[in-house]
Amino acid sequence: MLDIKFVRTNPDAVKENIKKKFQEEKLPLVDEVIDLDEKFRALKTKGDDLRASRNKKSKEIGKFMAQGDKDQAEKVKAEVKAVNEELESDQEKTREYEDRIREIMMRLPQMIDPSVPIGKDDTENVEIERFGDPVVPDYEVPYHVDIMETLNGIDLDSARKTSGAGFYYLQGDIARLHSAILAYARDFMIDKGFIYCVPPFMIRSDVVTGVMSFDEMEDMMYKIEGEDLYLIGTSEHSMIGRFINTLQDEDQMPIALTSYSPCFRKEVGAHGIEERGVYRIHQFEKQEMVVICKPEDSKEWFDVLWKNTVELFRSMDIPVRTLECCSGDLADLKVKSLDVEAWSPRQKKYFEVGSCSNLGDAQARRLGIRLRGEDGNYFAHTLNNTVVAPPRMLIAYLENHLQEDGSIDIPEVLRPYMGGKKTLEKVKKIL
């Protein structure tokens, strides 16, 4: 959320930013919020003057009563009553202005970083760098579900019966591999100096609106019926929400956390929750990294975060590339974002496995996360990045480590988490 003072003094810059994000329908909101802000501030000033006048008149009442001049005292009482009625009326208008101003400010997009490429949607994202050589083997690479089924590792039919499309049962070595990747990612981040956390998997509405835009909320979040609780779509929501309405000492920055959680997403508008796949699903697990820092440090931390993900994937011999998200592909709260994509030998292209985002002070301003500095208090910056989300990671992993005989090679870094196994072999289906 932008600072209203910034909007008031830089309306042209705010409008230009909206145009860069191809959200021209929001342009009238800038003039509207500036007008409302002017009226709001005028009413506040008027209110201060009225209260000062009321206080003065109240003192006069006592003076006239002491002098025995009851008629004059009653006259002044009537004037005080009129002032109170006017204040009450103005306070109602002030609340209306304040509510509408906040509503508009929650819809205006964050100012994007000057380095962000301008583009309308994700088709105009820009490749930055590739890590590892993408390989297409001489033999056929089957669809990821077919690979899992040869290892007796997935049951989609039963999941459709119990839960519907977008759910799955993992079992056997595939379930173990899923857990191994999460455990390895956890330890990888701990070794990087991040504090490991397991957060609440449900959050209240004031946290939801603090960490994401209204459009994202509608498309992603599952609401718990009858309660002010939502299932988290990523642990970032709960992790950032942890600091709502807090004042942290700036000399304690940065706070670098890595968190595990299940994630729940409606995936509204996602074309085709695949009947047989686990690429776009309603429930999955993820290891996340979250940083709260001083504003001047957020750019440096942005690079640290995405490089952690690249290093993790390369340690498992999976080729990846990084993409700079263009202006039209940025969610409204993001200043800058970079996707990490893994190589798919079957599709002969890269696909998204993680996203790193710098949100500037957008979440901190909405949630009231401030830092205490020598020159006063100010809003922190927040960042987040996917360490690994195993369903998509499993796709990349299985395709890149599939051997010609159908077995799966296990890289050295994962073997301690797989009981020392070096390969996964085809097994007879038992369930």
Q: Give how far Cα 331 sits from Cα of 119, 216, 217, 246, 307, Å.
A: 13, 8, 11, 25, 21
User: Which contacts (CB < 8 Å, 24+ apart) does range 134-141 have?
Assistant: 134/319, 134/343, 134/345, 134/350, 135/319, 135/343, 135/345, 135/400, 136/345, 136/348, 137/345, 137/402, 137/404, 138/404, 139/404, 141/345, 141/346, 141/399, 141/402
Q: Helix 27-66 to helix 70-107 angle, to the nearest 10 degrees?
A: 160
Residue type, 55: N
pLDDT band of 293, cuts 50, 70, 90: very high
Q: Helix 390-401 to helix 172-191 angle, to the nearest 10 degrees?
A: 110
What pLDDT, in 10s, does the model give residues 397-408?
A: 999 999 999 999
- Per-residue pLDDT for 269 more than 70? no
What pLDDT, in 10s, does the model give residues 119-134?
A: 999 999 999 999 999 9
Structural element, H or E, at residue 313: helix 298-315
Specify the range with the lowest mean pLDDT, choosing from 71-75, 376-380, 414-418: 71-75
Structural element, H or E, at residue 340: strand 336-344
Report the relative pairing of strands 336-344 and 423-424 from DSSP bridges. unpaired
What pLDDT does residue 272 have? 47
What pLDDT, in 10s, does the model give residues 344-375?
A: 999 999 999 999 999 999 999 999 999 999 99
Percent of the chain with pLDDT over 90: 76
Q: What is the pLDDT averaged over residues 33-53?
A: 87
Q: Helix 11-20 to helix 27-66 angle, to the nearest 10 degrees?
A: 140
Closest Cα to residue 313, out of 277, 339, 291?
339
Q: What is the pLDDT averaged over residues 8-15?
A: 97
Q: What is the pLDDT averaged over residues 147-165?
A: 92
Alpha helices in 108-171 (DSSP H): 144-150, 156-162
